Amino acid sequence: MKFQDKVVLVTGASRGIGAAIALAFAREGASVVVNYLSNDTAAAEVVAACQAAGGDAWAVKADVGSDDAVRTMIDGIVSEFGHIDIVVNNAFSPYLFDPKNRTRFDDLNWHDYQSQFDGTVGATFRVCQAVLPIFRKRAQGSIVNIVSNLVEHPVVAYHDYTTAKAGLVAFSRNLASELGPLGIRVNCVAPGLVYPTQASQATQESFRESLMAATPLRRIARPEDVAGPVLFLASDWAGFMTGQVLFVDGGLVMK
């Protein structure tokens, strides 16, 4: 599975899952655009790791919550590389996974849902709208959106977060249906709890142990575990797959 001459945009790629995905593409020879919001040092470290792994890499600071910032980012990528082949939508609104201290439904308001929806579906919407004209010109392209196994198995009721991710699954399948005739594929990867990441650092050890005990592979996903399925869906090996959701949670969800 090689990605030489492929240009890959990974949003939210300065740390955690996004950084692992960017590095995996670089190891396969891709030119990787490391999108990030604010942490210049972290983004530079990911770029350096990608280059050391054998791929080209470029950090682009852009808020995917802004139409103008996204358009400027996409225009810059095309100006630099001439094209874009793959987009991985990984960025989402900040969220802390804390099973004991999560916000219960009675204490939520609609703004909480709206914030997650804007950060998850809204960001993906903006990036897809900006990149699709480029994909259409070449009658090819692959989009992989990062969702969550909680949409199928809400072992913890993170109401606003999970609802937004479920919306992203529907968004992805509608897009896959419309764009399939044009040679553009859209799929999702749904990780379970991934540890360690900034979002999962508040997840208590007792909960992690109980989750491992319920998981057939008896461990929790690491960021690099998510990268492999993303590369598979983006590759020619998955050339006849679109509108699909791959669950990456050690067998907790089986479909």
Query: Which sequence positions are flagged as catalytic?
Result: 161
58 beta partners: 33
Distance of CA 160 to the CA centre of its chain: 18
d(Cα 254, Cα 115) in Å, to the nearest integer?
30
What is the amino acid identity at position 229? P
N residues, the chain: 255
Is the peptide bond preceding residue 133 cis, with omega within 30 degrees of 0? Answer: no
Choose among 144, 120, 100: nearest CA to 9. Answer: 144
Exposed, middle or buried by CB within 10 Å (0-12, 13-18, 19+), for 107?
A: exposed
User: How do strand 56-61 and strand 86-89 relate by DSSP bridges?
Assistant: unpaired
Using an 8 Å Cβ cutoff, are 90 and 148 in contact? no
Q: How far apart are the first and last CA of the chain?
A: 25
How far from 11 is each of 50, 136, 190, CA to CA, in Å? 15, 21, 16
- Please give the structure tokens belonging to residue 185: 């594929």
d(Cα 214, Cα 119) in Å, to the nearest integer?
30
d(Cα 84, Cα 74) in Å, to the nearest integer?
9
